[in-house]
Amino acid sequence: MTNDKRTQIGKRVAQELQDGDYVNLGIGLPTEAANHIPEGRKVVFQSENGIMGVGPAPVEGQEDKDMINAGGGYITALPGASFFDSATSFAIIRGKHIDVTVLGALQVDQEGNLANWMIPGKLIPGMGGAMDLVTGAKKVIVAMEHCDKHGNPKILKHCSLPLTAPHCVNLIITDMAVIEVTPQGLLLKEITEGYTLQEVLTATEAELIVPDKLK
């Protein structure tokens, strides 16, 4: 993924985070959102390895080897941040005290099912905290590229990979579009500048509900 795409997705995710939200960011792309919170908006970021009050990524050369997120990436801590053990961290998550979680995905389907933890036959580190986050958070946002590295759609009619959890995704934000999961199906909310409706439809296996304003 190019830095431009990463930044674009991170900025769009940040728009979904409201003042006062407690937010968990998954490893990789989702962490980009922490770098784009509008000035004056207070969002508290949590990492499941035991930090509440995660700040933006540190300036290159100023990393602290003892300050990392759950994926091993360097972080900063904002004034008032707290540190705690994994038991407390998952009590926060399972106790439904997290307003939003932002996760990456291998696949999402039109029923809001999420597959983001394994590809059969490949060595993987495990599911981590994803299964707790998607059931414990009040809102689940998936941040990912619209297609995989081979150009295959990642938004499908039905996930073919093992699920992380069923019927858990609320919003999908990709480099091409913003899509809401509704009881009626996948609602296309926005098309990213530079793409056409036809390009989004072609890159999406699942059926999309397209409002008149986007036609």
Question: If you average pLDDT over residues 185-194, what whole number do you get?
Answer: 97
Architecture of domain 3-214: 3-Layer(aba) Sandwich (3.40)
Give the pLDDT confidence score for residue 128 in this predicted structure.
76
Lookup: tokens for 52: 């509440």
- Phi, psi dihedral angles at 93 (to 5 degrees): -70, -50
Question: If you average pLDDT over residues 176-195, what whole number do you get?
Answer: 97
* Angstrom distances, CA of residue 198 to CA of 173, 176, 213: 18, 11, 14
199 part of the active site = no
Give the pLDDT confidence score for residue 28 in this predicted structure.
87
Give the pLDDT confidence score for residue 124 in this predicted structure.
67
Tell whether the model's pLDDT for residue 204 goes beyond 90: yes
Tell whether the model's pLDDT for residue 13 goes beyond 70: yes
* Angstrom distances, CA of residue 30 to CA of 73, 121, 134: 12, 26, 14
Residue pLDDT, tens place only, 116-146: 988 777 766 667 788 999 999 999 999 999 9
Per annotation, catalytic residue among 32, 48, 145, 205: 48
Mean pLDDT over the full length of the chain: 93
With b for 16 or more beta-carbon neighbours within 10 A and e for fewer, the 46-83 pattern comes to bbbbbbbbbbebeeeeeeeeebebbbeeebbbeeebee
Q: Where are the domains of the chain?
A: 3-214
* Percent of the chain as helix, strand, coil, to the nearest 5: 20, 30, 50
Give the pLDDT confidence score for residue 123 in this predicted structure.
64
Helix, strand or coil for residue 55? strand
Give the pLDDT confidence score for residue 125 in this predicted structure.
66
Residue pLDDT, tens place only, 19-57: 999 999 988 899 899 889 988 999 999 999 999 999 888
* Angstrom distances, CA of residue 129 to CA of 50, 117, 123, 211: 12, 10, 18, 35
